[in-house]
Amino acid sequence: MDRNQKVRELANLLYSNVCAGDLERIRTTGALTPTNSLRHRATRDRLRFARDLEGRWFTFQLVQDAVRFLLSDFQLEIPSTTPGFSEENWVSQSSTRLLHLLQRSRRTVAGDAMDTAETQLLDEMEDGLHY
C-alpha cells in the first residue's frame, strides 16, 4: 500500500469512527475527538480501530495529511469565525493531538497488564528475610 492510499484509508477510518456521529460537536468546538485523553470511554471507543492497523500508520505527516484530506474531501466543518483563526495552525494542532491519541490507543489494549501465569506462592521464611 503506497502512502496516498494510506492517507485516504486513514482519513476514511477517522471519518467513520471519529467524525461521523459528532459532526455538530466538531462544527461548534473544532475538536476532532471528544477529549484529549484516553481516560474517557468515548475517546477510547472512537480510536479502537487503531489497534487493528499493522505497519507505520501513525507518523505526524501521515496524520496531518489525513486531517487535511478530511477537511477537503469530507467537507468537515470547523469554526473559522474566531479572530486570529488559521486553518494551517488548526490542522497542525489537531494532528498533534490525534497522533498522540492514536499512538497511545494502539499500545493500550485492555488486559495487557495482566498475564495468564499462575501467582507464585510466597514463602514465609523468604518474606521474613527482607524486613
Which of 80, 75, 67 minimizes the C-alpha distance to 23?
75
For residue range 3-51, list pLDDT tens digits in order. Answer: 899 999 999 999 999 888 888 888 888 888 888 888 888 888 888 988 8
Radius of gyration of the chain (CA): 20
Tens of pLDDT, residue by residue over 50-79, are 888 888 888 899 999 999 999 888 878 888
- Is the entire prediction scored with pTM above 0.85? no
Report the number of distinct structural domains present in the chain: 1
Q: Which domain holds residue 85?
A: 3-129
pLDDT, one tens digit per residue, over 74-111 is: 878 888 777 777 889 989 999 999 999 998 887 755 55
**Chain center to CA of 124:** 46
The C-alpha atoms of residue 84 and residue 46 are separated, in whole angstroms, by 30
CB 10 within 8 A of CB 77: no
Q: Looking at per-residue confidence, does 124 or 72 come out higher?
A: 72
